Amino acid sequence: MPDIDIRITGRAGRITLTRPKALNAMTYDMCMAIDTALRNWREDDAVDLVIMDAEGDKAFCAGGDIADLYASGSKGDFDYGRTFWRDEYRLNALIFEYPKPVISFLQGFTMGGGVGIGCHGSHRIVGESSKIALPECSIGLLPDVGSTLMLALAPGRLGEYLGTTGHRMDPGDAVFAGFADHFIPISDWSALIEMLEASGDAELIAKHSTPPPESTLEQQHSVIEALFAGESLGDVLNALTHSSDAMAADALTLMGRNSPLSMACTIEALHRLRGPSLTLRKALELEYRYTFRAMEHGDFLEGIRAQIIDKDRNPQWRFADQSVPAVAVSKMLQPLGKDMLTFEEV
Protein backbone atom coordinates (compact mmCIF):
# COMPACT_ATOMS: atom_id res chain seq x y z
CA MET A 1 0.00 0.00 0.00
CA PRO A 2 1.28 3.52 -0.77
CA ASP A 3 1.32 4.77 2.83
CA ILE A 4 3.59 2.11 4.27
CA ASP A 5 6.42 -0.12 3.03
CA ILE A 6 6.56 -3.57 4.65
CA ARG A 7 9.26 -6.03 3.63
CA ILE A 8 12.01 -8.35 4.86
CA THR A 9 15.58 -7.14 4.38
CA GLY A 10 18.32 -9.51 5.50
CA ARG A 11 17.44 -10.73 9.00
CA ALA A 12 15.04 -7.86 9.68
CA GLY A 13 11.35 -7.33 9.23
CA ARG A 14 11.11 -3.74 7.99
CA ILE A 15 8.23 -1.33 8.46
CA THR A 16 8.62 2.15 6.98
CA LEU A 17 5.90 4.79 7.14
CA THR A 18 5.79 6.59 3.79
CA ARG A 19 3.43 9.56 4.26
CA PRO A 20 5.96 12.33 4.99
CA LYS A 21 3.69 15.08 3.60
CA ALA A 22 1.07 14.02 6.19
CA LEU A 23 3.76 13.70 8.88
CA ASN A 24 3.29 9.92 8.56
CA ALA A 25 -0.09 10.06 10.31
CA MET A 26 -1.50 6.58 10.94
CA THR A 27 -4.59 5.42 9.06
CA TYR A 28 -6.64 2.40 10.06
CA ASP A 29 -5.32 0.47 7.05
CA MET A 30 -1.71 1.23 8.04
CA CYS A 31 -2.46 0.04 11.58
CA MET A 32 -3.87 -3.25 10.33
CA ALA A 33 -1.00 -3.77 7.87
CA ILE A 34 1.51 -3.48 10.72
CA ASP A 35 -0.58 -5.85 12.81
CA THR A 36 -0.63 -8.47 10.04
CA ALA A 37 3.11 -8.19 9.39
CA LEU A 38 4.03 -8.58 13.05
CA ARG A 39 1.83 -11.66 13.42
CA ASN A 40 3.39 -13.20 10.31
CA TRP A 41 6.95 -12.48 11.43
CA ARG A 42 6.42 -13.68 14.99
CA GLU A 43 6.83 -17.33 13.96
CA ASP A 44 9.15 -16.70 11.00
CA ASP A 45 12.65 -17.98 11.72
CA ALA A 46 14.02 -15.80 8.91
CA VAL A 47 13.16 -12.67 10.92
CA ASP A 48 15.34 -12.02 13.99
CA LEU A 49 14.12 -8.49 14.75
CA VAL A 50 11.77 -5.78 13.52
CA ILE A 51 12.84 -2.25 12.53
CA MET A 52 10.33 0.61 12.34
CA ASP A 53 11.23 3.92 10.74
CA ALA A 54 9.66 6.59 8.58
CA GLU A 55 10.38 8.76 5.57
CA GLY A 56 11.04 12.47 5.92
CA ASP A 57 12.80 14.63 8.46
CA LYS A 58 9.82 16.20 10.20
CA ALA A 59 8.11 13.23 11.84
CA PHE A 60 8.25 9.56 12.64
CA CYS A 61 4.48 9.67 13.11
CA ALA A 62 2.56 12.73 14.26
CA GLY A 63 -0.50 10.77 15.37
CA GLY A 64 -3.58 9.09 14.02
CA ASP A 65 -5.36 10.27 10.89
CA ILE A 66 -8.43 11.61 12.65
CA ALA A 67 -10.33 13.18 9.75
CA ASP A 68 -12.17 9.90 9.09
CA LEU A 69 -13.04 9.60 12.76
CA TYR A 70 -14.60 13.04 12.70
CA ALA A 71 -16.47 12.40 9.47
CA SER A 72 -18.15 9.30 10.84
CA GLY A 73 -18.66 10.54 14.40
CA SER A 74 -20.21 13.83 13.36
CA LYS A 75 -22.91 11.82 11.58
CA GLY A 76 -23.68 9.89 14.75
CA ASP A 77 -21.69 6.80 13.74
CA PHE A 78 -19.48 6.02 16.72
CA ASP A 79 -18.68 2.43 15.73
CA TYR A 80 -15.89 3.26 13.27
CA GLY A 81 -13.94 5.19 15.92
CA ARG A 82 -14.48 2.48 18.50
CA THR A 83 -13.24 -0.16 16.06
CA PHE A 84 -10.22 1.96 15.13
CA TRP A 85 -9.22 2.46 18.76
CA ARG A 86 -9.88 -1.15 19.72
CA ASP A 87 -7.70 -2.57 16.94
CA GLU A 88 -5.03 0.10 17.41
CA TYR A 89 -4.79 -0.72 21.13
CA ARG A 90 -4.49 -4.42 20.34
CA LEU A 91 -1.57 -3.54 18.04
CA ASN A 92 0.05 -1.53 20.83
CA ALA A 93 -0.14 -4.58 23.08
CA LEU A 94 1.26 -6.82 20.34
CA ILE A 95 4.30 -4.56 19.96
CA PHE A 96 4.85 -4.33 23.73
CA GLU A 97 4.63 -8.10 24.20
CA TYR A 98 6.49 -9.08 21.01
CA PRO A 99 8.92 -11.99 21.49
CA LYS A 100 11.54 -10.48 19.18
CA PRO A 101 13.31 -7.11 19.41
CA VAL A 102 11.27 -4.23 17.98
CA ILE A 103 13.49 -1.25 17.16
CA SER A 104 12.07 2.18 16.36
CA PHE A 105 13.86 5.24 15.00
CA LEU A 106 11.95 8.30 16.19
CA GLN A 107 12.99 11.42 14.30
CA GLY A 108 11.01 14.65 14.47
CA PHE A 109 7.50 14.50 15.86
CA THR A 110 6.29 11.33 17.54
CA MET A 111 2.87 12.11 18.94
CA GLY A 112 -0.33 10.33 19.86
CA GLY A 113 -0.69 7.22 17.72
CA GLY A 114 2.98 7.51 16.81
CA VAL A 115 3.82 6.91 20.47
CA GLY A 116 1.67 3.80 20.31
CA ILE A 117 3.70 2.18 17.56
CA GLY A 118 7.06 3.79 18.28
CA CYS A 119 7.41 3.77 22.06
CA HIS A 120 6.32 0.26 23.08
CA GLY A 121 9.13 -1.67 21.42
CA SER A 122 12.24 -3.03 23.08
CA HIS A 123 14.68 -0.48 21.59
CA ARG A 124 13.43 3.11 21.17
CA ILE A 125 15.96 5.39 19.52
CA VAL A 126 15.86 9.19 19.46
CA GLY A 127 18.11 11.71 17.75
CA GLU A 128 18.68 15.45 17.70
CA SER A 129 15.33 16.37 16.12
CA SER A 130 13.12 14.09 18.21
CA LYS A 131 10.03 15.66 19.78
CA ILE A 132 7.73 13.28 21.64
CA ALA A 133 4.39 14.52 22.95
CA LEU A 134 0.92 13.48 24.01
CA PRO A 135 -1.38 16.33 22.90
CA GLU A 136 -4.63 14.35 23.14
CA CYS A 137 -6.23 16.64 25.73
CA SER A 138 -6.16 19.43 23.12
CA ILE A 139 -8.59 17.44 20.96
CA GLY A 140 -10.83 16.12 23.71
CA LEU A 141 -9.19 12.73 24.23
CA LEU A 142 -6.89 11.56 26.98
CA PRO A 143 -3.38 10.22 26.37
CA ASP A 144 -4.00 6.75 24.97
CA VAL A 145 -2.35 4.03 22.83
CA GLY A 146 -0.89 2.70 26.07
CA SER A 147 0.83 5.97 26.92
CA THR A 148 -0.79 6.04 30.35
CA LEU A 149 1.50 3.13 31.23
CA MET A 150 4.59 5.25 30.59
CA LEU A 151 3.04 8.31 32.19
CA ALA A 152 2.21 6.31 35.33
CA LEU A 153 5.77 4.95 35.43
CA ALA A 154 7.47 8.31 34.79
CA PRO A 155 9.35 9.81 37.75
CA GLY A 156 7.10 11.36 40.39
CA ARG A 157 4.19 13.36 39.00
CA LEU A 158 5.85 13.94 35.65
CA GLY A 159 3.09 11.88 34.03
CA GLU A 160 0.40 14.31 35.16
CA TYR A 161 2.42 17.20 33.77
CA LEU A 162 3.08 15.60 30.39
CA GLY A 163 -0.46 14.29 30.03
CA THR A 164 -2.31 17.49 30.88
CA THR A 165 -0.02 20.01 29.16
CA GLY A 166 1.06 18.09 26.05
CA HIS A 167 4.64 19.27 26.67
CA ARG A 168 6.95 18.31 23.81
CA MET A 169 9.87 16.25 25.07
CA ASP A 170 13.24 16.68 23.42
CA PRO A 171 15.53 13.62 23.27
CA GLY A 172 16.96 14.18 26.75
CA ASP A 173 13.48 14.56 28.21
CA ALA A 174 12.22 11.46 26.39
CA VAL A 175 14.96 9.27 27.84
CA PHE A 176 14.46 10.71 31.33
CA ALA A 177 10.70 10.23 31.22
CA GLY A 178 10.92 6.65 29.94
CA PHE A 179 9.67 7.14 26.39
CA ALA A 180 13.02 6.33 24.76
CA ASP A 181 16.03 4.15 25.52
CA HIS A 182 18.92 5.33 23.36
CA PHE A 183 20.22 8.59 21.93
CA ILE A 184 22.05 8.06 18.66
CA PRO A 185 22.94 10.91 16.26
CA ILE A 186 20.67 10.77 13.22
CA SER A 187 23.67 10.77 10.89
CA ASP A 188 24.50 7.29 12.24
CA TRP A 189 21.03 5.79 11.75
CA SER A 190 21.36 4.61 8.16
CA ALA A 191 24.59 2.67 8.79
CA LEU A 192 23.19 1.18 12.00
CA ILE A 193 20.03 0.00 10.22
CA GLU A 194 22.16 -1.70 7.57
CA MET A 195 24.15 -3.50 10.26
CA LEU A 196 20.98 -4.58 12.04
CA GLU A 197 19.52 -5.90 8.80
CA ALA A 198 22.66 -7.85 8.02
CA SER A 199 23.27 -9.27 11.49
CA GLY A 200 19.87 -9.52 13.14
CA ASP A 201 21.68 -8.54 16.34
CA ALA A 202 19.95 -5.88 18.45
CA GLU A 203 22.94 -5.76 20.80
CA LEU A 204 24.62 -3.50 18.24
CA ILE A 205 22.39 -0.63 19.33
CA ALA A 206 23.97 -0.21 22.75
CA LYS A 207 27.40 0.02 21.13
CA HIS A 208 26.30 3.02 19.07
CA SER A 209 24.35 4.75 21.85
CA THR A 210 25.73 7.99 23.28
CA PRO A 211 24.74 9.98 26.37
CA PRO A 212 21.55 11.97 25.67
CA PRO A 213 21.45 15.77 26.00
CA GLU A 214 20.57 17.16 29.41
CA SER A 215 16.89 16.94 30.28
CA THR A 216 15.10 20.14 31.18
CA LEU A 217 12.36 18.05 32.77
CA GLU A 218 14.90 16.41 35.05
CA GLN A 219 16.11 19.83 36.17
CA GLN A 220 12.50 20.93 36.82
CA HIS A 221 11.46 17.67 38.43
CA SER A 222 11.11 18.92 41.99
CA VAL A 223 8.92 21.84 40.86
CA ILE A 224 6.71 19.55 38.79
CA GLU A 225 6.45 17.16 41.72
CA ALA A 226 5.12 19.92 43.96
CA LEU A 227 2.73 21.49 41.46
CA PHE A 228 1.14 18.31 40.10
CA ALA A 229 0.74 16.31 43.31
CA GLY A 230 -2.97 17.07 43.70
CA GLU A 231 -5.65 14.41 43.67
CA SER A 232 -7.80 16.16 41.06
CA LEU A 233 -7.59 18.68 38.24
CA GLY A 234 -8.93 21.32 40.62
CA ASP A 235 -6.12 20.65 43.08
CA VAL A 236 -3.50 20.95 40.34
CA LEU A 237 -4.95 24.15 38.91
CA ASN A 238 -5.12 25.64 42.41
CA ALA A 239 -1.45 24.85 43.01
CA LEU A 240 -0.44 26.30 39.65
CA THR A 241 -2.51 29.46 40.15
CA HIS A 242 -0.91 30.18 43.52
CA SER A 243 2.65 29.45 42.41
CA SER A 244 5.12 32.18 41.51
CA ASP A 245 7.27 29.79 39.49
CA ALA A 246 7.51 30.67 35.78
CA MET A 247 6.89 27.06 34.92
CA ALA A 248 3.46 27.25 36.59
CA ALA A 249 2.43 30.11 34.33
CA ASP A 250 3.59 28.20 31.26
CA ALA A 251 1.69 25.10 32.36
CA LEU A 252 -1.50 27.11 32.93
CA THR A 253 -1.22 28.54 29.42
CA LEU A 254 -0.86 25.08 27.89
CA MET A 255 -3.66 23.62 29.98
CA GLY A 256 -5.94 26.54 29.18
CA ARG A 257 -6.15 25.28 25.58
CA ASN A 258 -7.20 21.77 26.54
CA SER A 259 -10.43 20.00 27.36
CA PRO A 260 -11.01 20.19 31.13
CA LEU A 261 -12.84 16.85 31.07
CA SER A 262 -9.89 15.23 29.28
CA MET A 263 -7.37 16.62 31.76
CA ALA A 264 -9.44 15.59 34.77
CA CYS A 265 -9.80 12.06 33.42
CA THR A 266 -6.07 11.89 32.63
CA ILE A 267 -5.15 12.68 36.22
CA GLU A 268 -7.68 10.18 37.57
CA ALA A 269 -6.50 7.46 35.17
CA LEU A 270 -2.87 7.83 36.27
CA HIS A 271 -3.85 7.68 39.93
CA ARG A 272 -5.82 4.49 39.31
CA LEU A 273 -3.03 2.82 37.35
CA ARG A 274 -0.06 3.50 39.60
CA GLY A 275 1.00 0.59 41.77
CA PRO A 276 2.31 -2.96 41.62
CA SER A 277 -0.59 -4.26 39.49
CA LEU A 278 0.12 -1.92 36.57
CA THR A 279 0.31 -3.60 33.14
CA LEU A 280 0.02 -2.30 29.61
CA ARG A 281 -3.21 -4.23 29.08
CA LYS A 282 -4.69 -2.65 32.21
CA ALA A 283 -3.71 0.80 30.91
CA LEU A 284 -5.19 0.16 27.47
CA GLU A 285 -8.43 -1.20 28.92
CA LEU A 286 -8.85 1.92 31.05
CA GLU A 287 -8.02 4.22 28.12
CA TYR A 288 -10.60 2.45 25.96
CA ARG A 289 -13.32 3.22 28.48
CA TYR A 290 -12.71 6.88 27.71
CA THR A 291 -12.21 6.69 23.95
CA PHE A 292 -15.27 4.45 23.58
CA ARG A 293 -17.34 7.32 25.03
CA ALA A 294 -15.28 10.23 23.68
CA MET A 295 -17.43 11.07 20.66
CA GLU A 296 -20.83 10.62 22.27
CA HIS A 297 -20.18 11.92 25.78
CA GLY A 298 -16.83 13.76 25.63
CA ASP A 299 -15.20 16.67 23.82
CA PHE A 300 -13.57 14.77 20.96
CA LEU A 301 -15.77 15.93 18.07
CA GLU A 302 -15.65 19.54 19.24
CA GLY A 303 -11.89 19.34 19.67
CA ILE A 304 -11.37 18.05 16.13
CA ARG A 305 -13.77 20.63 14.73
CA ALA A 306 -11.85 23.48 16.35
CA GLN A 307 -8.34 22.18 15.62
CA ILE A 308 -8.62 20.37 12.28
CA ILE A 309 -11.92 21.08 10.50
CA ASP A 310 -12.85 24.74 11.06
CA LYS A 311 -9.42 25.59 12.50
CA ASP A 312 -10.86 28.41 14.57
CA ARG A 313 -8.86 27.22 17.61
CA ASN A 314 -11.88 28.10 19.75
CA PRO A 315 -13.33 24.86 21.08
CA GLN A 316 -16.47 25.07 23.19
CA TRP A 317 -15.48 22.59 25.87
CA ARG A 318 -17.76 20.97 28.40
CA PHE A 319 -16.93 22.37 31.84
CA ALA A 320 -15.30 25.40 30.25
CA ASP A 321 -14.78 26.91 33.69
CA GLN A 322 -12.36 24.01 34.37
CA SER A 323 -14.50 22.82 37.28
CA VAL A 324 -15.10 19.16 36.42
CA PRO A 325 -17.39 17.21 38.78
CA ALA A 326 -16.03 13.92 40.06
CA VAL A 327 -19.15 12.18 38.76
CA ALA A 328 -18.36 13.29 35.21
CA VAL A 329 -14.90 11.73 35.47
CA SER A 330 -16.34 8.53 36.92
CA LYS A 331 -18.85 8.23 34.09
CA MET A 332 -16.14 8.47 31.43
CA LEU A 333 -13.95 5.86 33.13
CA GLN A 334 -16.53 3.40 34.40
CA PRO A 335 -16.32 -0.21 33.10
CA LEU A 336 -17.79 -0.93 29.69
CA GLY A 337 -19.28 -4.33 30.49
CA LYS A 338 -19.71 -6.38 27.32
CA ASP A 339 -17.94 -3.66 25.30
CA MET A 340 -14.72 -3.77 27.32
CA LEU A 341 -11.44 -4.02 25.46
CA THR A 342 -10.16 -7.57 25.11
CA PHE A 343 -7.02 -8.92 23.50
CA GLU A 344 -8.01 -12.23 21.96
CA GLU A 345 -6.58 -12.85 18.50
CA VAL A 346 -9.11 -13.40 15.75
Contact 181, 227 (CB under 8 A): no
Is residue 113 annotated as part of the catalytic site, yes or no? Answer: yes
List 48, 53, 88, 144, catalytic entry: 144
Is residue 136 annotated as part of the catalytic site, yes or no? Answer: yes
List 63, 64, 140, 163, catalytic entry: 64
Residue 75 Cα to chain centre, angstroms: 27
Interatomic CA distance for residues 330 and 179, integer angstroms? 28
Q: What are phi and psi of 59, to 5 degrees?
A: -160, 140
To 10 degrees, the CA torsion angle through 112, 182, 48, 24? 30
Is residue 64 annotated as part of the catalytic site, yes or no? Answer: yes
Q: CA end-to-end span of the chain, whole Å?
A: 23
Task: Provide the residue type at 263 as one letter.
Answer: M
**DSSP at 282:** H
Nearest CA among 307, 330, 339, 344 for reference residue 83? 339
Interatomic CA distance for residues 79 and 63, integer angstroms? 20
Angle, CA of 318, 324 and 328, to the nearest 5°: 80
Contact 130, 170 (CB under 8 A): yes
Interatomic CA distance for residues 9 and 13, integer angstroms? 6
Interatomic CA distance for residues 152 and 114, integer angstroms? 19
List 53, 65, 136, 285, catalytic entry: 136
Is residue 55 annotated as part of the catalytic site, yes or no? Answer: no
Interatomic CA distance for residues 17 and 109, integer angstroms? 13
- Other Cβ atoms less than 10 A from the Cβ of 72: the count is 17
List 63, 113, 146, 159, catalytic entry: 113
Nearest CA among 59, 67, 6 for reference residue 32? 6
Task: Provide the residue type at 220 as one letter.
Answer: Q
Burial of 189 from C-beta contacts in 10 A (0-12 / 13-18 / 19+): middle
Q: Which residues are the active-site residues?
A: 64, 113, 136, 144
